Structure formats: structure tokens, C-alpha cells
Structure 1
């Protein structure tokens, strides 16, 4: 279980997150919703170590956890970015195997086998030799999810997973996230799309802009 306690974050003296606390149980989906500028993405970046929190505690299974400790965070948090962040000069297979072989020091053959298995699970069989420019938006997103899962994280985090997609793909993304839940994957989803959030969430955290918190 992930626990976040009393998280605070400011930029240039302007508070963005003030005393945020929540928890996510193993295998659950938590959606983080709220208006633009409320700090949803900042919250996600603090949890995943991409931003440093001013104060607050992070616990995994009751143990203190530092998201900015790269060695620890690689094993705990997987991130699917809003614009996917795939390496354009690498094939799908190379995108999936790069971090496991370089960071986890996996045997390249084992990393490739796991990558191919993940691609098959996510409906991308026989796409391993394609490059990102040859993929649709939905396919790029599934590759990004497979790349995050290749690191075997405890928690998979998404930043606005439907924003870069055609609206008719929203249900497909919801089905994918729910199918990962059935496999026991704990997921944390930042989204502005309330209907989408309700469709997938076990629990929902609403983050309000500080000037609205009265």
C-alpha cells in the first residue's frame, strides 16, 4: 500500500499542494481529479520523484520511502507520461528493453522475452520492430504502458492518459486500465476527465486550486 502524508509543495513561494494525504491499497485504482492548475500533475511528479516535495512522508507497505532515491523509485513507481516520451530512434522492442537491461541489469534475452510477452498482453503482437512514428496514438500509449510495466513497478502512474487520444479511444483506455487491475496492478491516474475517472476508479482524490479551498 502507498501512503502519502501531509504533502506540501510550493513554487517560488506560491503554495501548490498544501497538506495532501491519501492512500492507495494494493491492486486498487486511485484517480486524482481537479481543475487545471490545482496541482494534479505536480502531485504525481512528487510521488514519482520527478519533483522534490517541500515536506511530507511517503510510505510503501508501512516503510518510509524516498521517491527521489532513483534505485528505490525505479522498483516502486512506473510512469506513463502524457506525451508517452518514447524514444523516436528506437524500435518498440528497444524502447521496452533499454531500461531493464541498463538499470535492472537484466540479461538482454530475458528482457526481450518479457517485452514480447507484455506486447502480446497489450494487443501489440508483431509490433516490436516498428518505430514510434509508425504507431497510432493508442498504440503509442500501450507501448508506453508496456515500457513502464517492463520495470516491474509496484505502482503504475498515468498523467492524463486520455488527453492525447481521440475521444473514441477513451473507452479502450479504460478497459486497458481495468484489465491491468484484474492482473493485480496498483494504479494511480491523474485526469481532468471526470466521466473517465468514475469509470475506472476504486477511489477518487479531488485536488482543488488553493484559492478555491475555503
Structure 2
């Protein structure tokens, strides 16, 4: 379980998060919703260590955790960014397998086996040799999710998972998130898509602008 206690964060004198308290239970889906500028993405960036908090505590299983200094726990939280951030010069298979080899120092054969399993699980087996420019938005998203899962994170976080997709893809995204939940993956979704949040989330946390 991840616990946030009295989290504060400001930019240029403007308070974004003020004494925020939140719990994310193992195996559940938490949706963080709210209008633009309310601090949703700031909260996500703080959780994954891309921004530091001004004060407060982040705990994992009641132990203090600093996301910005997690050298010994590189796979705590995986992130699927809004623009996916796939490497354009690498194939789908290479995108998925790169970090486990370079960061986790996994054996090539282990990486190959895990990559094959993820390709099958996310219905990408026939896309393994393609490059990002050859994929649809939905396919790119699945590759980004597979790449994050390849690091075996304890938590998987998404920044606006439906924003770049055709509305008809919303159900597919929802089904994918629910399938991952069945596998025990704890998930955090930052989204404007209230319909998606209502469909998949165990809990919804609403962030409101402070000024």
C-alpha cells in the first residue's frame, strides 16, 4: 500500500498541492480526476520521482519512500506517459526488452521469454518487428504498457490514457486496465475521462484547484 501524508508542492509561489492525504491499496485501481491545472499531473510526477515534494511523507507498506532517490527500487512505479515516449528507432520487441537488459541487468534469454509473454498478453505478437511509426495509437499504448510491465513494477501509473485515442477505443482501454487488475497489478490513472474512471476505478480521488 502507498500512503501519502500531508503532501505539499508549490511552483513559483503558487501552491499546487496542500496537505494532500491519500492511500492506494494493493491490487486496486485509483483514478485521480480533476480539471486542468488542479495538480493531477503534479501529483503523479511526485509519486514517480519526476518532481520532488516540498514537504510531507510518501510511505510504501508503512516504510518511508523517496521516489526521486530510489536507486535500490527502480521498479517501484512504472509509468505510461500520455505521448508514450517509445524509441522510434527500435522495434516493438526492442522497446519492451531494452530497460530490463540495461537497468535490471537481466539475462538475454530471460528478457526474450518475458518479452514474448508480454507480447502475447497484450495482443502484440504479430507486431513485434514493427516500429512505432507503423502502429496505431492504441497499439502504441499497448507497447508502452508492455514496456512498463517488463520492469515488473509494483504499481503501474498512467497519464491520461485515453486522451490521444479515438473515443471508440475507450472500452478497449478499460478492458485492458481491468484485465491487468485481475493479474494483481496496482494501478493509478490520472485522467479527465470521468466515464473511464467510473468504469474501472475502485476509488476516485478528485483534485481541485486551490486558487
| Separation in 2, partners of 1:20, 1:52 | 14
Q: Show the counterpart of 2:112.
A: 112
After TM superposition, list the pairs within 5 Å mapping 1:37-186 onto structure 2: 37-186=37-186
The CA RMSD over aligned residues, in Å, is 0.9
State the secondary structure of the residue aligned to 2:99.
helix
Q: Show the counterpart of 2:13.
A: 13
CA contact (8 A) 1:29 1:201 kept: yes
| Separation in 1, partners of 2:20, 2:199 | 24
CA contact (8 A) 1:66 1:72 kept: no
Count of aligned pairs between the two proteins: 211
| Separation in 2, partners of 1:60, 1:97 | 27
* TM, length-normalised to structure 1: 0.97
CA contact (8 A) 1:48 1:73 kept: no
| Separation in 1, partners of 2:64, 2:41 | 22
Q: Show the counterpart of 1:35.
A: 35
State the secondary structure of the residue aligned to 1:75.
coil
Q: What displacement does 1:73 show?
A: 4.8
CA contact (8 A) 1:137 1:165 kept: yes
Q: Show the counterpart of 2:4.
A: 4
| Separation in 2, partners of 1:191, 1:176 | 16
Identify unmatched segments of 5+ residues in structure 2.
none
Q: What displacement does 1:209 show?
A: 0.4
* TM, length-normalised to structure 2: 0.98
State the secondary structure of the residue aligned to 2:71.
helix
Q: What displacement does 1:69 show?
A: 1.5
CA contact (8 A) 1:28 1:186 kept: yes
State the secondary structure of the residue aligned to 1:68.
helix
Deviations 1:173-193 (A, max 9, x none): 000000000000000000011
Q: What displacement does 1:75 show?
A: 1.8
Q: What displacement does 1:114 show?
A: 0.4
CA contact (8 A) 1:66 1:73 kept: no
